[in-house]
């Protein structure tokens, strides 16, 4: 009823999720410094309106590698969507298919990727699979093979979350994963070997980080699949260049919505240097902090080809299931189109740095 813009789902979700779940989704990690930075970063840019340009042939289509998309509003990989709605990822997939949005399915989906695939099996936009490296190589292989077999057309390896401190906000609200909500894709994997530390060893360096992927693992992965491999979680231009040289299909500039390293720079702030590092035609997505169509416009103007939506997805899902997510995508697309129209841009290609000006400068 009272939903006028995509961000309204953020407000409304607080009435549709129990507090601990809401806090789990909304919070970042640590003291939420990066969560705040993500939002502030967008506020520091203004968009130039341009006059009298004909945009009646306008559209928002784009091509990334071999794939084309109706619009640049992708669904970020978001784990455990049954926290927001009993139908979980099934409903998100339905919405993505209906709205022709590229959905990136999480390794930690609360619904098996095979089930997601059945509801989003024809038409719409491509579906991608987000991979977390598993402690056992076999399990990693199992995931990417199943993804390839069920129609996921790209692998997105998330590399910024080797350690993920639980959100302080979630912990304070008493968040616990509800019993039914599990990582369905991993159900048949054997439990990881428990880690024993020698005296003097660090629970972090010699413990948690023991299974963290390194450059070798990524190289290995790229030999194991014929799907395009994207990397998610890049903020430093040197990492971007190295990944480009390795031959990844594209990069997602992201700080995991402020959920990985508290104190990491805002994704948007990191974007221009990365675009400069990889050149103008290398595929680059961005997420973290997108709440409106004008945020999307700004990300595109600063170098992204498309964006991924994280939290808004969960908020809309909690409010109205598939319908909510579809509506949220529609609102974002229209907000973007209005922004483009007023900025005189008929296509995404016309959105460039010259469309923005630093606030107060």
Ligand X SMILES: Cc1cc2nc3c(=O)[nH]c(=O)nc-3n(C[C@H](O)[C@H](O)[C@H](O)COP(=O)(O)O)c2cc1C
- At residue 231, φ and ψ (nearest 5 deg) are -115, 130
Distance in angstroms between the alpha carbons of the first and the last residue of the chain: 39
Q: How many residues touch ligand X (CB under 6 A)?
A: 23
In angstroms, give the least distance from the CB of 284 to a copy of itself: 15
When the beta carbons of 122 and 187 are compared against a copy of itself, the nearer one is 122
Closest distance to ligand X from the beta carbon of 150 (Å): 18
DSSP 127-182: EEEEEPPPSSHHHHHHHHHHHHHTT---EEEE-S-SS-PPBHHHHHTT----TT--
341 binds, among a copy of itself, ligand X, none (CB under 5 to 8 A by kind): a copy of itself
Please name the residues in contact with 118: beta carbons below 8 A apart, sequence gap of 6 or more. none
Nearer to a copy of itself, 45 or 128 (CB): 45
Q: Which is nearer to a copy of itself, 86 or 172 (CB)?
A: 172
Which one of ligand X, a copy of itself, none is in contact with 158 (Cβ closer than 5 to 8 A by kind)?
ligand X
The listed partner (a copy of itself, ligand X, none) that binds 138, CB under 5 to 8 Å by sort, is none
d(CA 325, CA 94): 9
52 binds, among ligand X, a copy of itself, none (CB under 5 to 8 A by kind): a copy of itself
Choice from 113, 170, 264, 309 touching ligand X (CB under 6 A): 309
79: partner contacted, choices ligand X, a copy of itself, none (Cβ within 5-8 A by kind): ligand X
Q: Tokens in use for 341? A: 């129209």
Binding mask 127-166 for ligand X (x = CB under 6 A): ---x---------------------------x--------
Show contacts with ligand X in window 220-239 (CB under 6 A). Answer: 232
Stretch that binds ligand X, among 76-84, 223-231, 242-250, 296-304 (CB under 6 A): 76-84
Cross-strand bridge partners of residue 63? 68
247 within 8 A of 26, measured Cβ to Cβ: no
Q: Has 256 been annotated as catalytic? A: yes
Q: Is 39 exposed, middle or buried (0-12, 13-18, 19+ CB in 10 A)?
A: middle
Within a 10 A sphere around the Cβ of 201, how many other Cβ atoms?
13
Task: Give the shortest CB-330-to-a copy of itself separation in angstroms.
Answer: 9
106 binds, among ligand X, a copy of itself, none (CB under 5 to 8 A by kind): ligand X
CA dihedral in degrees (112, 114, 120, 124; nearest 10)?
110
Helix (H, G, I), strand (E, B) or coil at 61: coil
Residue 257 backbone dihedrals phi, psi, to 5 degrees: 60, 30
Q: Which of residues 10-39 bind ligand X (CB under 6 A)?
A: 25, 38
- Residues with a known catalytic role: 256
Interface contacts to ligand X, rule CB under 6 A: 25, 38, 76-79, 106, 108, 130, 158, 232, 254, 256-257, 259, 287-290, 309-311, 314
């Amino acid at each position: 009823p009272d939903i006028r813009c995509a961000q309204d789902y953020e407000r409304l979700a607080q009435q549709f999720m129990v507090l601990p779940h809401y806090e789990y989704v909304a919070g970042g990690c640590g003291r939420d410094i990066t969560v705040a930075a993500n939002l502030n970063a967008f506020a520091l840019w203004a968009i130039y309106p341009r006059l009298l340009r004909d945009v009646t042939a306008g559209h928002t289509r784009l091509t990334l590698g071999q794939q084309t998309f109706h619009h640049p509003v992708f669904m970020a990989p978001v784990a455990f969507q049954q926290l927001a709605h009993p139908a979980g990822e099934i409903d998100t997939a339905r919405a993505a298919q209906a709205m022709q949005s590229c959905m990136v399915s999480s390794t930690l989906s609360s619904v098996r990727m095979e089930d997601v695939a059945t509801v989003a099996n024809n038409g719409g936009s491509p579906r991608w699979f987000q991979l977390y490296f598993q402690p056992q190589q076999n399990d990693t292989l199992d995931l990417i093979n199943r993804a390839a077999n069920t129609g996921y057309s790209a692998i997105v390896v998330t590399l910024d979350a080797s350690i993920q401190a639980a959100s302080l906000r979630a912990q304070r609200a008493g968040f616990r994963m509800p019993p039914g909500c599990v990582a369905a894709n991993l159900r048949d994997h054997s439990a990881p070997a428990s880690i024993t530390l020698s005296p003097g060893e660090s629970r972090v360096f010699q413990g948690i980080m023991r299974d963290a992927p390194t450059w070798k693992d990524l190289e290995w992965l790229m030999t194991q699949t014929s799907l395009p491999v994207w990397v998610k979680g890049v903020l430093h231009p040197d990492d971007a260049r190295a990944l480009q040289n390795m031959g990844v299909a594209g990069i997602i500039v992201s700080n995991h919505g402020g959920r990985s390293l508290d104190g990491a720079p805002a994704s948007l702030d990191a974007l221009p240097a990365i675009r400069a590092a990889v050149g103008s035609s290398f595929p680059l997505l961005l997420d973290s902090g997108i709440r409106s169509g004008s945020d999307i416009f700004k990300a595109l103007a600063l170098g992204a080809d498309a964006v991924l939506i994280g939290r808004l997805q969960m908020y809309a899902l909690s409010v109205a299931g598939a319908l909510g997510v579809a509506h949220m995508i529609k609102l974002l697309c229209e907000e973007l189109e209005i922004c483009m129209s007023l900025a005189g841009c008929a296509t995404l290609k016309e959105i460039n740095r010259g469309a923005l000006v630093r606030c107060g400068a």
